[in-house]
Amino acid sequence: MSLAYLIKRLLMAIPTLFGVAIVVFVLLRVVPGDPIAMMIPPGARAEDIEHLRALYGLDKPILVQFGHWLVDMIGGNFGTSISLRQSVLGLVASRLPATLELSLTAILLATSLGIALGIAATYWRGRWPETLVDLVAGLAMAIPDFLWGLLFILGLGVLLPILPISGRLDPRLETDFTTNFYLIESILRGEFAITLSILTHLVLPAVALALPLTAAVTRILKSALKEAMSQDYILMARAKGFSKARIIWREAFRNALVPTVTLSGVQLTFLVGGTVLIERIFSYPGIGNMAIGAVIDRDLPLIQGLVLTFAVLFIALNLVIDMTYVLLNPRVRHG
Amino acid sequence: MSGLLEIEDLHLELPGPQGWLPILRGVSLALSPGQVLGLVGESGAGKTMVGKAVLGLQPERARISEGAIRFEGRDITHWRDEARRALLGRGMALIPQDPMSALNPVIRIEAQMTDVLRLHLGLDRRAARARALALLNQVHIREPERVLRQYPHELSGGMRQRILIAIAFACRPKLIVADEPTTALDVTVQRQILRLIKELQASSGTSLLFVTHDLGVVAKVCDRVAVMHAGRIVEAAAVAEVFTRPRHDYTRALFAATPRYDRPGEALVPVPAALSESLFVEAAAYDAARAARSSHA
Amino acid sequence: MVERRALGAALSNGRVLFGLAVLLLLVIVALAAPLLAPHDPLEQDLLSSFEPPFWRSGADANFLLGTDSLGRDILSRLIYGARIALTVALVAASLAALLGTMLGLLAGYFGGWLDAVISRLVDVWMSFPPVLLSVVLAAVVGAGLKAVILAIIVVDWTRFCRIVRAEVLVQREQDYVAAAVTIGLSRLRVLACEILPNLAPTLTVLLTLEMGIAVIVEAILSFVGLSVASDAPTWGGLIQEGRLYINQAWWMMALPMFCVIVTVLGFNALGDGLREALDPVLRR
């Protein structure tokens, strides 16, 4: 049942992807600024400009451009970046691992912290820890991740300089890695000095990214736990002689997890989107940072490639969330 | 005293918009080992609350203002936390009312049966599983291995209730509170379940506090019966006596109101309003007298 | 009757009061900017650059919150920044609400292919990270307030659309709708006159929250350099400037951040408080 469902969802994602591709393409053809003009030194001859334009295929009619682009895309060719003069695919592939490491760290942080806080608020319901959790969650949710990032830079980077605020690792360290998954590879190779450097550089951006999601998970879980704890099977568990802590963890939590996963899903995708600004703020070399640069430089092929990449990540993330929901809910699993 | 359970002058109240609302007004009961006591009454009479108070599972905002509950000679009225948890599931257990919602929907049956065995009897996984299978056999469930692997939503209401009964009897408690265990079931299944409960009770010698609104059920399962109205015990005696020679008007009215399957054409006779009224008035008088007493003290 | 109860419930809620206070303060500051600001926000005074704010030694009483790299008074720039923030919040949020609500009403009430098309559109739209989408849009449309507002509308209409559609689906099955249809009201009239008023509380809450989001998006866009002309004092722009000099004058970044945070917290408190206050009143 799960496999068929998975395939069905994958197939449903394709038209969405197609729609995304069309939107991306159309959006960027409306660009008023002339990307070619930005590359040429002033005073260039008209024929040089026309030559470059033809090279990048920007002189053909729109539909032809779209057709070429689509064919190229399916063939794996995403074009060449106008500002960086490298293949878009190559650029994305080189920077994607950094963003993935950052996002996954943030997601892990957010889920574990959010779950811990949600359970704590339930265990101490009606007492001060619950109020404290509510307050913290409210604040974490109201302030957007990029402001948290700036606050961290201000507080923990400048005023009290205890953590690094830019880059991915100490530039003095040598990395001779095969993949760009620095964190994972450094652990596998046992180069723990590098691991440590990467982790200290990840702390501030990952926490800033994680805070809104943590708040969402805490709130949603707390509400779902409250709902679960009012059910009859909880009374039954008490009648068996189990303690409150065990009941919350073994009986209520499994039930509360289901709606929590679905409802937190949206906030999770916001986290991935948040990498755009956070990476910029912390000068972290991922695709988010590159995206902002691409937009400012009006680098069409790169923008297209990156927006498409983000869309794919979003869709993949939604798929994972749906799958998790099915896994957690036996009623859906067995039909 | 050889009594297993003694409830003495129990007063339980719930907080209301204008002060405390009396739910139980001086309930007194006694239950001996191996005995089945039925607790009958209309909805709202307080019978479920008696059961919950005995188990210590009454709502948190409720308070027991007077009286005592004694189990095996010990006063457990205000027992909480560890002391209470040692008792629940082991010394006393619950058969809940609604089998549909009393089982956790995301946990397999095996875990829901073995957890209480492992908690109170200290059995390891294999021993607990074996015991769970034996229990399923005792409650006449076919293919017990298959059932253990299943989730509650895959089973019928009758099967779920059997499992809940098995869980109640699992650690061989001295007392089981059955809270209207057949109310939520089909009529055809009800008789089977009642028979099963009686059978298990007889073979294990467990005492039963059987809460129900159905006199027919009382006739089949109970040795003694206590009739409740508005939080007070109106009449209490052996089943044979109450059924042939009910002493209180209200008891008689309850009997008259019970629909008879062997006399289908007969019109239903509700409890006379005047009788109900007078009983409520008595209850109010009781509250007033009690309030006066406590303000003088 | 219900309206009065709703108003009473709203005004007795602490969070609503806090939010309203912030909103009021913002409106006053924005409207009275020329009167309140001690200096012209664009006036440069290179001899007085990097003056510290009043709580630090060596501060100039002329510049209460200090000056930036070009000697411009920070307090005045913050005050005029409030103008831009408020304008964007009100206009962008209302228009996004308008667009999203209209499409949500149509999708939810008429169903069928209209719903299918709109829902698919929303799905595709929400596949983009909102920040990236707004940045790309702002880059496409060019600089200026109109561009920022457009970017916010285009990105956030989906939020209204989804929620309104879900609400309409629920309301559509209610008895009062069937009653209205039987007395012969046209479908559009039912939608506008019967269903829409019942969405008023939800829409009010969403609108206030959206205003907070609009302020944030504007700050982001001006932080990245894509908002109004770089001279004009936007909070986001001030944050970006402040970031450049964070080591010499950290308050240059901290002060506009404080303004944004208080404003956003205010709108959020208002929205949450309204949701809390209005919900039980109407479920009755």
- pTM for this predicted structure: 0.82
* Residue A107 within a domain: yes
pLDDT for res B96: 94
pLDDT at A317: 86
Q: Domain range for residue A204?
A: 95-285
Tell me if C260 and A142 make a contact (CB, 8 A cut-off).
no
- Give the separation between CA B297 and CA C190, rounded to whole angstroms: 67
Residue A196 pLDDT exceeds 90? no
Residue A102 belongs to domain with CATH number = 1.10.3720.10
Q: In this predicted structure, which of A55-59, A116-120, C79-83 has the lowest mean pLDDT? A: A55-59
Preferred mutation among A34, A38, A103, A146 to probe C, highest tally of C CBs within 10 A: A146
- The domain that contains B96 carries what CATH number? 3.40.50.300
Range in B96-110, B236-250, C120-134 with the lowest mean pLDDT = C120-134
Look at A254-258, B1-5, B248-252 and tell me which has the smallest mean pLDDT: B1-5
Q: Is residue A140 part of a domain?
A: yes
User: How many other C-beta atoms can be found within 10 angstroms of the C-beta atom of residue C40?
Assistant: 13
pLDDT (tens digit, 9 = 90+) per residue, B125-135? 999 999 999 99
* Whether the predicted pLDDT of A167 surpasses 60: yes
Q: Is C166 on the interface with A (CB under 8 A)?
A: no
Burial status of residue A110 (CB atoms within 10 A of its CB: 0-12, 13-18, 19 or more): buried
Q: Does B49 touch chain A (CB under 8 A)?
A: no
Contact B96 A329 (CB under 8 A): no
Please name the residues between 144 and 163 in chain A that touch chain C, using a CB distance below 8 Å.
144, 146-147, 150-151, 153-154, 158-159
Q: Flag if A239 and B151 touch (Cβ within 8 Å).
A: no
Of chain B, the percentage scoring pLDDT greater than 70 comes to 99
Say if the Cβ atoms of A28 and C250 lie within 8 Å: no
CA dist B222 and B211 (Å) reads: 10
What average pLDDT does this structure show over A54-69? 69
Q: Mean pLDDT for each 10-residue chunk of chain C (284 residues)?
A: 71 83 89 82 78 78 79 86 89 92 86 86 79 75 77 85 85 80 78 79 87 88 74 85 84 90 90 78 50
> Measured between alpha carbons, how far is C4 from C20 in angstroms, rounded to an integer?
18
Q: Is the pLDDT of residue A37 over 60?
A: no
* Tens digit of each residue's pLDDT (9 = 90 or more) over A127-143: 899 989 988 998 898 88
pLDDT at B262 over 80: no
User: CB of A245 within 8 A of CB of A122?
Assistant: no
pLDDT greater than 50 at residue A13? yes
Which residues form the domain of C81? 2-283
Q: Which residue has the higher pLDDT, B40 or A49?
A: B40
Quick one: pLDDT band at residue A49, thresholds 50, 70, 90?
low
- Each residue of B182-224: pLDDT tens digit? 888 888 888 899 999 999 999 999 999 999 988 888 888 999 9
Residue C130, sorted as left (phi over 0), alpha (psi -120 to 50) or beta, turns out to be: alpha
Instruction: State the DSSP string of B212-275.
Output: ES-HHHHHHH-SEEEEEETTEEEEEEEHHHHHHS--SHHHHHHHHHS--TT-TTSPP-PPPHHH
Task: Tell me the C-alpha distance between C221 and C227, whole Å.
Answer: 5
For the cut 70, the answer to whether the pLDDT of residue B74 exceeds it is: yes
Per-residue confidence (pLDDT) for residue C203, from 0 to 100: 87
Instruction: Tell whether A241 lies on the interface with B, counting CB pairs under 8 A.
Output: yes
Question: Are A and C touching by the rule of 3+ CB pairs within 8 Å?
Answer: yes
Q: Does A303 touch chain C (CB under 8 A)?
A: yes
> Which has more confidence, C190 or A251?
A251
Q: What is the CATH number of the domain that holds C74?
A: 1.10.3720.10
The pLDDT assigned to C263 comes to 92
C-alpha–C-alpha distance, residues A180 and A97, integer Å: 6
CB C120 within 8 A of CB A19: yes
Look at the block and give the residue holding tokens 């299943």: B150
Residues 6+ apart with CB under 8 A from B198: B220, B221
Q: What is the pLDDT of residues A289-304, one digit of tens each?
A: 998 888 877 777 788 8
What number is the average pLDDT over the span A238-260? 92
Cα–Cα distances in angstroms (integers) from residue C94 to residues C160, C203, C271, C284, in the given order? 11, 10, 15, 29
Span A260-279, average pLDDT:
86
Yes or no, beta carbons of A236 and B89 under 8 Å apart: no
Residue A31 confidence (pLDDT) above 60: no
How many independent structural domains does chain B possess?
1
Token pair listed for A5: 């469902």
pLDDT at A335 exceeding the cut of 50: no
Q: Could you write out the DSSP letters of every residue in chain C? A: -HHHHHHHHHHT-HHHHHHHHHHHHHHHHHHTHHHH-SS-TT---GGGTTPPPTTSTT--TTSTT-B-TT--BHHHHHHHHHHHHHHHHHHHHHHHHHHHHHHHHHHHHH-HHHHHHHHHHHHHHTTS-HHHHHHHHHHHH-SSHHHHHHHHHHHHHHHHHHHHHHHHHHHHTSHHHHHHHHTT--HHHIIIIIIHHHHHHHHHHHHHHHHHHHHHHHHHHHHHT-SS-TTS--HHHHHHHHHHTTTT-THHHHHHHHHHHHHHHHHHHHHHHHHHHHHHHHH-
Q: Report whether pLDDT(B6) > 50.
A: yes
Query: Residue B222 in contact with residue B239, Cβ under 8 Å?
Result: yes
- A&C contacts, CB < 8 Å: 114
User: Does residue A210 carry a pLDDT above 80?
Assistant: yes
pLDDT band of residue B1 (cuts 50, 70, 90) is very low
**Facing residue for C216 by CB, picked from A19, A144, A310:** A144
A26, A34, A38, A154: best to mutate for the C interface, most C CBs within 10 A: A154
Torsion from C-alpha of B97, B100, B102, B103, nearest 10 degrees? 150
Closest CA–CA distance from residue C269 to any residue of chain A (Å): 9
pLDDT reported for residue B297: 61
- The interface pTM score, or ipTM, of the predicted complex is 0.90
* pLDDT for position C228: 64
Q: Which residues contact A49 (CB under 8 A, 6 or more apart)?
A: A36, A37, A40
Share of chain B above pLDDT 90, in %: 63
Range of the domain at B236: 5-296
CB contact under 8 A, B151 and A241: no
**pLDDT score of C284:** 43
Range among B61-65, B163-167, C104-108 with highest mean pLDDT value:
B163-167
User: A296 or B288, which is more confident?
Assistant: B288
Total tally of structural domains belonging to chain C? 1
What pLDDT does A60 receive?
66
- Confidence band of A4 (pLDDT split at 50, 70, 90): confident
Whether B120 has its CB under 8 Å from any CB of chain A: the answer is yes
Give the Cβ contact number of residue C24 at 10 Å: 11
Q: What is the structure's pLDDT at A41?
A: 58
**The predicted structure's pLDDT at residue B132:** 95
Partners of A334 on chain B (C-beta within 8 Å) are 151, 154
**% chain A with pLDDT above 70:** 86
